[in-house]
Every structure is written in C-alpha cells, then in structure tokens.
C-alpha cells in the first residue's frame, strides 16, 4: 500500500507521475535479455523511494537505473556484474536483497537462531516423560474446580 501513497508523495515533490513504471520504449529487443533486466530490476532499490524496486517505480532516478541495467546487460555483463556496478556507484543500499557479509550476518542468522532457540524450548516441553516431581503439575484445588465448573457451566471439569 505504501507505494501508492509514495507515488502521491513523490508527485507532490514533482518527482514522479503515479502509474506504470516500466514504459514500453525502455525495453530491450532481445526477450531473454529483457527478462534478465526485469529480474535484476526487481532486486534493486529506487534510492529516492521508500522500499520500492526500480522495476516498480516511476521516479526519474529509477528510470535512469533501469537504463543503466539494460545498457550493462546489452554490453554483456552478467547479472552479478550489473549489480556490482550499481553497488560501486550507490552503495549497498541499492540492493533489496542484503548481501551475506559480516555486518549482515546477524540479519540472516537471527531468524535461524530464533527457530533453533524455539526448538530447544519446545523440546523441553515434552523432553521428559519421567513421573513428575513434586508440584510440577498441580491439580486444581477443589475451589478452583468449583470455580471452573461455575464458569463453564459444566458439572465437573474433567480431571486431566
């Protein structure tokens, strides 16, 4: 939803019109090269926009970047060479897919750690099947059972 609002904001700044990022005249003649250009464009950030790829943006800068991407492809660069070219010019900010580097290691590893920590915690839930030692499982007291019965409208809640 943001892009829509973004377009509006950009339009106010005189930066962009609202619709249709890639215009027909920009396209490369070779369909395979054009497909590569689209693929790369979707992973590059329009730097003056908020969280928007150059493939989606209609800002002038995005238009320029799309042109550069197509020029580099036409010149025979590989996908990664095109990206490195733009990173050298604009910094890592231009990449929507962050690299796996030292300062991004946490970004990529934290979700894995989160899952790992979750697995460890979950295992503790059913890790031991030994008889439960004192008080770890507390039956409801009579009062609590009566309360539960009152709340649920059932005669007696089943003992678990």
Residues 39-68 that bind another protein (CB under 8 A): 42-43, 45, 50-53, 56
DSSP labels, the chain: -HHHHHHHHHHHTTS--SS-SS-GGG--SSHHHHHHHHHHHTTBB-TTSSS-BTTT--SHHHHHHHHHHHHHHHTT--HHHHHHHHHHHH-GGGBSS----GGGHHHHHHHHHHHHHHHHHHHHHHH--SPPPTTSS-PPPHHHHHHHHHHHT-SSPPP-
> Helices 60-74 and 31-41 meet at what angle, rounded to 10?
130
Could you say whether residue 102 binds another protein (CB under 8 A)? no
Does 103 help bind another protein (rule: CB under 8 A)?
Answer: yes
Minimum distance of another protein from residue 22's CB (angstroms): 6
- The residue (of 11 and 81) whose beta carbon lies closer to another protein is 11
Nearest approach, Cβ of 159 to another protein (angstroms)? 10
Q: With binding defined as CB under 8 A, does residue 11 bind another protein?
A: yes
The reply on whether position 124 binds another protein by CB under 8 A is: no
Told to check if 92 binds another protein by CB under 8 A, we report yes
Choose the binding region for another protein from 3-11, 61-69, 76-84 (rule: CB under 8 A).
3-11
Binding of another protein at residue 35 (CB under 8 A)?
no
Does the protein bind another protein through residue 78 (CB under 8 A)? no
Q: Does 74 bind another protein (CB under 8 A)?
A: no
| Residue 138 sits in the site that holds another protein (CB under 8 A) | yes
């Amino acid at each position: 939803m943001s892009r829509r609002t973004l377009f509006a904001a950009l339009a106010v700044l005189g930066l962009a019109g609202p619709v249709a990022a890639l215009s027909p005249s920009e396209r490369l003649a070779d369909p395979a090269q054009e497909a590569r250009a689209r693929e790369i464009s979707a992973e590059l950030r329009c730097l003056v926009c908020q969280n928007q790829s150059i493939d989606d943006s209609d800002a002038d800068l995005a238009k320029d970047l799309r042109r550069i991407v197509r020029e580099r492809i036409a010149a025979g660069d590989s996908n990664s060479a095109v990206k490195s070219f733009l990173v050298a010019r604009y910094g890592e900010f231009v990449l929507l897919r962050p690299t796996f580097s030292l300062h991004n290691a946490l970004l990529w590893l934290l979700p894995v750690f989160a899952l790992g920590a979750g697995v460890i915690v979950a295992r503790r839930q059913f890790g031991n099947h030994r008889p439960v030692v004192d008080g770890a499982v507390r039956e409801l007291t009579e009062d609590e059972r009566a309360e539960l019965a009152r709340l649920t409208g059932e005669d007696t809640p089943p003992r678990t």
